[in-house]
Structure 1
Amino acid sequence: MKKIFLFICTISMSFLNAQDITDALRYSQQNIMGTARFRGMSGAFGALGGDLSALQINPAGSAVFLESNGSVTLSTSRIDNDANYFDGFSNNSDMNLNFNQLGAVFIYEYNKDSNGVNKFSLGLAYDQTSDNADEFLAFGRSESTATYSNSIDNYFLAEAQGIPLDLITLRSGENIDNLYSFLGENEGFSAQQAFLGHESFLIEANDLDNPDNTLYFSNIAPGVFDQEFFFESTGLNGKFTLNGGAQINQNYYIGFNLNSHFISYDKVTQFFERNDNTGSIVNEVTFTNRLSTTGAGFSAQIGGIAKVSQMIRLGASFETPTWYYIEEETTQQLETFGNTNGRALVDPRVTNIFPEYRLRTPATATGSIAFLFGQQGLISLDYSYKDYSSIKLSSDQGNVFSNVNREINDNLQGVSIIRLGTEWRNGQWSFRGGFNYEESPYENDLLFGDKIGYSIGGGYNFGKFKFDVAYDYSEQQREEEFFPGSGFTNFAVIDSYRDNFTFTLAMNF
């Protein structure tokens, strides 16, 4: 049976907890994806071109093609997560299959053997830029300290303090859906969370007889807590590119891209906690949240490649920030159980629809050099710089993101990205390898570690057709805070390992 949402509410400007530094960073990052040749060399194509995915790095690469070319790419992706939380350890893996690249470049020769403009290129391409599929389960036993209970009750207490009791109390004839919707439309996020906690008996007012009461205490006693946190996300980010390029005076290539981006991201989290602490009225808590995000954006790129000699090529490119318009929706459910009070389920059949907001991602500058050894092989190196502290959120609908923007500026930093690749040929066969490194976007790299990756690949040239295959692997560590920016600060340490097999069929025409 399909779930029916009885109420649709637009959240007021005080509902800002939906957008945080984690979301801003997620939509600002791009992974090395694309054709098998591109991935087999870890994306080190800034001074090379001649591959459709090379346009992601340097748009001048389209003019390097000797003839018109098209390609289609299929990729299998697997993510393996190790989750450490207090004394608990778990491992989860997830696999998916995507068509992550499709495109063509059309070459128009002009004054082929003379100076001036030698040829023009026109490219149309789709590239997946990020795979949002992720999953992990963290579990462990936490214990109260002298100043912190290490329980989910901290989340609801922090949101509830200062909220009048009368505001979150059901009136005669009013149901959970009505009040939850009203609070979202008129009071915002904290009032909704306070209502969930109070209605489920997780928190209680200090003075039940005073409708103006604004102080609350927990019905969970300090002690030991068995906790689980399940995280699952799906979706992908991608872009459609219109490219133009030209070869000038035989040795110089220029190009530009106009990129249309999209975001598709869905996430579900479920937190479970159990305790047998003396004095606890609530012994079990299950808190479920769902988030759905869609977005559309625009960016532009410009680049050039120069043949310095028969052996050396240099490349340079610049990608503007991407300006996104993003919409988000959430649903929530809270269930508690007490040995004396029984079970309480608070399930508002309401979708919280956030006001559309804007996200500006960082610009990227790239410098490249490649060494070519005739027809035998090549070595290529790219260096990119991206300043994540320049990320900015804004809105035309009155939302104030000053706190989030300040957190971004204080915690994120500029990063260096290095990609190194090589390719060697033996007859119709090609063999490739690569390495890539990206610094942590956080000044504190314990929150989000450096990313390291490796790749290998090969291909066979049938003449008109080429078939390539690649395998790439990357690893990164991060701290996954269960409820970012809230009063409950517990987190798991996640070691992520990703590997991909990529297959590309390309054709000259």
Structure 2
Amino acid sequence: MKRIFLLVIALLSVTFSQAQDITDAVRYSTSQLYGTARFKALSGAFGALGGDLSAMKINPAGSAIFNNSYSTVSLEYNSRNNDTRYGNRTTSSDDSDFNFSQAGAVLVFNSNDPENSWKKLTLGFNYSLTNNFKDDYVATGISSNSIDQYFLGYANGVPLDNLETVDGETIADLYRYLGENIGFGAQQAFLGYQAFVINPNSNDLDNTSYSSAIAPGNFDQQFALASTGLNGKFTFNAATTYKDFLYFGANLNAHFINYDKSTRYSEFNTNSNSEINEIVFRNNLSTTGDGFSFQLGTIAKVNDYVRLGVSYESPTWYSIQEESSQAIQSYSANTDEVVNVITNVVNVYPDYTLRTPGNLTGSLAVLFGSKGLISFDYTYKDYSNTKFTPSSDPEFNFQNELISSNLQATSSFKVGGEYRIEDWSLRGGYRYEQSPYKNESTIGNLDGYSAGLGYNFGNIKLDVAYDHASRIDNPQFYQVGLTNTSRIERDFSNVVLSVSFGI
């Protein structure tokens, strides 16, 4: 007869030791290209140009280029394609959505005093997406590395006494206790033990060594990820003009994070002497956060044809809250008995702070009168300066060491051009962003190009742009034990429509 061991541990509302890692740090430190259609069409190369609502998120002095009060609203269609290769198999996934990606206005106050060297004051507000977390992919293939290594990686060193329930104690009680008092790693060991994936090498309660209940061989595996959420910021801007030559500006930014991720890992084997033949492991993560940053910038009008810009964006200081839940199922082909253990526990982690890296941008723009322009931006950003706090937490210290040793200072550049034919504007651009990882493999370098068209009706302007970018990522399944990677060829395409009008 066939016995099936079934363990379902779906995880309710207590405070647990944190499980944040370097992937969280990178996720909230990177940004995508969002903004007005004109901004997108030039691939975001606006640091020395100004005169656009999205330009001030690169250089806050850009709002002082406006001659009159102005407003823009943008709607964007996003499309994503992932071709995922794992072992000798490839799967594809497509997804799309609509978002209001930008909305803002700037008020211009001109000085009427000819003796006043400060010719203009502008006050602006802009909302912009910085990241769209919607994503999904499935990696399916054959491997000789099993999920048992994940649980063994956490279990060895944990006393068996911590993994055994006592009289009157439920699975949920012990799981909760481990999270509150020992940490995430002990919880993972507990899941592997209770699911019969790992066995103690001794029944002594002081035992701290474990072995796998899964025989070596080949494993048919599938890792599926689905995520949703947005990262955005609200910018409050002030800028001024000195003698029609120098432009100065400053931004105060309020940031928000909403992120939800679900992963499902399944594994099947027919290996001889294997006590467990099938495993399904589920993880859910829900993240919310808010933060602040500031920016300073200046633009110099060298002459009627050349503008130079420089801007600084501070680190963003986030306060982040997270909740997670887990579930595991294990099956054995040896007997037909069914064991069901079901609990409901949500891991509620203590709030933590994440400091993302600041950046410095230098810009050059060449204008050809009313006929057109060419613009170039270079940005330097050191991801190794990303940091979790409180630093008194040993897990955060460990992750900060990983960040310092695995992430790097990056360079990115953007170039864009515009050509005007009466009331029509033709635009195009290119951008390159270096990977935040030193190996440039976990997250690959990004290449993108853009094109756009605009028409000036007078008081109203209508702009449309198309942007495409691609990169190759090699994400790990887990940080511990089962560190297999899949290769994902990512393509991002979007179309944005903006309506602008004088106010």
Q: TM-score, normalised by structure 1?
A: 0.94
Matches within 5 A, 1:117-132: 117-132=118-133
Q: Does the 8 Å CA contact 1:85/1:139 hold for their aligned counterparts?
A: yes
Structure 1 counterpart SS, 2:29: coil
Which of 172, 184, 187 is the matching residue for 2:179? 184
**Shift in Å, 1:348:** 3.4
Q: Measure the CA separation in 2 of the matches of 1:274 and 1:396.
A: 41
Q: State the match for 2:112 in structure 1.
A: 111
Q: State the match for 2:299 in structure 1.
A: 305
Q: State the match for 1:272 in structure 2.
A: 266
Q: Does the 8 Å CA contact 1:115/1:248 hold for their aligned counterparts?
A: no
Q: Measure the CA separation in 1 of the matches of 2:84 and 2:447.
A: 19
Q: Measure the CA separation in 1 of the matches of 2:268 and 2:340.
A: 16
Q: Does the 8 Å CA contact 1:335/1:346 hold for their aligned counterparts?
A: no
- Alignment identity in percent? 48
Unaligned runs of 5+ in 1: 144-149
Which of 416, 425, 428 is the matching residue for 2:423? 428
Q: State the match for 1:244 in structure 2.
A: 238
Matches within 5 A, 1:50-449: 50-111=51-112, 116-143=117-144, 150-208=145-203, 210-342=204-336, 344=339, 347-395=342-390, 398=393, 400-449=395-444
Structure 1 counterpart of 2:66, which letter? Answer: F
Q: Measure the CA separation in 1 of the matches of 2:439 and 2:268.
A: 32
Q: Measure the CA separation in 1 of the matches of 2:341 and 2:233.
A: 40
- Distance 1:253-1:409 versus aligned 2 partners, 3 A rule: same
Q: State the match for 1:147 in structure 2.
A: none
**Shift in Å, 1:479:** 1.1
Structure 2 counterpart SS, 1:124: strand
**Shift in Å, 1:6:** 9.0
Structure 1 counterpart SS, 2:315: coil
- Distance 1:394-1:346 versus aligned 2 partners, 3 A rule: farther
Q: Measure the CA separation in 2 of the matches of 1:347 and 1:247.
A: 66
Q: Measure the CA separation in 1 of the matches of 2:31 and 2:290.
A: 15
- Distance 1:91-1:475 versus aligned 2 partners, 3 A rule: same
**Shift in Å, 1:399:** 5.7
* Residue deviations 1:89-119 (CA, integer Å, cap 9, x gap): 1111111111111110000111376650111
**Shift in Å, 1:141:** 0.7
* Residue deviations 1:290-330 (CA, integer Å, cap 9, x gap): 00111111100011111111111111110111111111110
Which of 486, 496, 499 is the matching residue for 2:490? 496
Structure 1 counterpart of 2:256, which letter? Answer: F
Structure 1 counterpart of 2:324, which letter? Answer: T
Q: State the match for 1:10 in structure 2.
A: 15
Q: Measure the CA separation in 1 of the matches of 2:231 and 2:274.
A: 45
**Shift in Å, 1:170:** 2.1
Structure 2 counterpart SS, 1:49: coil
Q: Measure the CA separation in 1 of the matches of 2:11 and 2:178.
A: 15
**Shift in Å, 1:356:** 1.1
Structure 2 counterpart SS, 1:174: coil
Q: Measure the CA separation in 1 of the matches of 2:413 and 2:83.
A: 26
Q: Does the 8 Å CA contact 1:199/1:346 hold for their aligned counterparts?
A: no
Q: Measure the CA separation in 2 of the matches of 1:414 and 1:164.
A: 41
Q: Does the 8 Å CA contact 1:335/1:344 hold for their aligned counterparts?
A: no
Q: State the match for 2:6 in structure 1.
A: none
Q: Measure the CA separation in 1 of the matches of 2:333 and 2:66.
A: 72
Q: Does the 8 Å CA contact 1:332/1:348 hold for their aligned counterparts?
A: no
Q: Measure the CA separation in 1 of the matches of 2:347 and 2:392.
A: 16
Unaligned runs of 5+ in 2: 1-9
Q: Measure the CA separation in 1 of the matches of 2:12 and 2:224.
A: 27
Greater RCO structure (CA 8 Å; 6+ sep) = 2
**Shift in Å, 1:447:** 2.2
**Shift in Å, 1:172:** 2.4
* Residue deviations 1:72-94 (CA, integer Å, cap 9, x gap): 11101111111111111111111
Q: How many residues align?
A: 493
Q: Does the 8 Å CA contact 1:165/1:213 hold for their aligned counterparts?
A: yes
Q: Measure the CA separation in 2 of the matches of 1:364 and 1:164.
A: 46
Structure 1 counterpart of 2:12, which letter? Answer: F
Structure 2 counterpart SS, 1:120: strand
* Residue deviations 1:248-286 (CA, integer Å, cap 9, x gap): 101221100000111111100000000000011111100
Structure 2 counterpart of 1:129, which letter? Answer: T
**Shift in Å, 1:171:** 2.1
Report the more deviating stretch, 111-120 or 303-312: 111-120
Q: Measure the CA separation in 1 of the matches of 2:89 and 2:114.
A: 68
**Shift in Å, 1:154:** 0.3
Q: Measure the CA separation in 2 of the matches of 1:287 and 1:77.
A: 31
Report the more deviating stretch, 172-181 or 465-474: 172-181
Structure 2 counterpart of 1:87, which letter? Answer: N
Report the more deviating stretch, 186-195 or 281-290: 186-195
Q: Measure the CA separation in 1 of the matches of 2:391 and 2:445.
A: 35
Q: Measure the CA separation in 2 of the matches of 1:95 and 1:449.
A: 22
- Distance 1:392-1:271 versus aligned 2 partners, 3 A rule: same
Q: TM-score, normalised by structure 2?
A: 0.95
**Shift in Å, 1:173:** 2.4
**Shift in Å, 1:446:** 2.1
Q: Measure the CA separation in 2 of the matches of 1:221 and 1:433.
A: 57
Structure 1 counterpart SS, 2:267: strand
Q: Does the 8 Å CA contact 1:311/1:371 hold for their aligned counterparts?
A: yes
Structure 1 counterpart SS, 2:34: coil
Q: Measure the CA separation in 1 of the matches of 2:314 and 2:191.
A: 43
Report the more deviating stretch, 417-426 or 170-179: 170-179
